[in-house]
Amino acid sequence: MKKLTTVFALALLLCLAGGCDFFRTLAGRPTSAQIEAKKARIEQHELRQAAVRDSVKQARLDSVAAARRAVEDSLHALDTLIHIGKYHKASSYVNIPQSRLRSRYALVVGVFSSAPNAEKLALRYQAEGYQAYVLKYYSTLSAVLVCPCNKVAEALEAYRKLRRIPNGPKEVWVLVNE
């Protein structure tokens, strides 16, 4: 009988030494393996949330950097045009109503006292693939405007492109709708 009690005590001691999973199972509680699996799922979820937060933060930083670059490019283009003396406001010329200009910026490639000559030049630029139109002001002058655009950087690029044309205009400037 003493041996049986000893064997029973050893068996009970083995169960206790083996962990409390036996008793947890009997009580309907999660075992240590289930607890570890849940911890791993929670850690994975936290890692995914951190990755999402980081990607949103990076996207925000990229957006701010892109906006900053766009502003810097615009300021650079504006400074360049002002420095070379090719930036003129429409309001500085009498009788150019802002409503007659089609965009914020346009390049003036010629001014004529004869409207047919201005029309010919506009047609020539249209044949070369540029958007060109004639703007009449002072009741006798007609300006040929090409490359209407709404960004100063685009206006600077169009200015440079026109200056590279082999038989391009000798004088080009940017007219600003202000």
Q: Which of 41-45, 77-81, 150-154 has the lowest mean pLDDT?
A: 77-81
| Cα–Cα dist 59/18, whole Å | 51
pLDDT band at 4 (very low <50, low <70, confident <90, very high): confident
By CB atoms closer than 10 A (0-12, 13-18, 19+), residue 81 is buried
Joined tokens for residue 114 = 């004869």
Instruction: Please say whether the beta carbons of 176 and 104 come within 8 A.
Output: yes
Amino acid 42: pLDDT? 93
pLDDT band at 92 (very low <50, low <70, confident <90, very high): low
Instruction: Please say whether the beta carbons of 88 and 109 come within 8 A.
Output: no
Amino acid 80: pLDDT? 64
Is 3.30.70.1070 the CATH classification of the domain at 87-176?
A: yes
Domain ranges of the chain: 19-83, 87-176
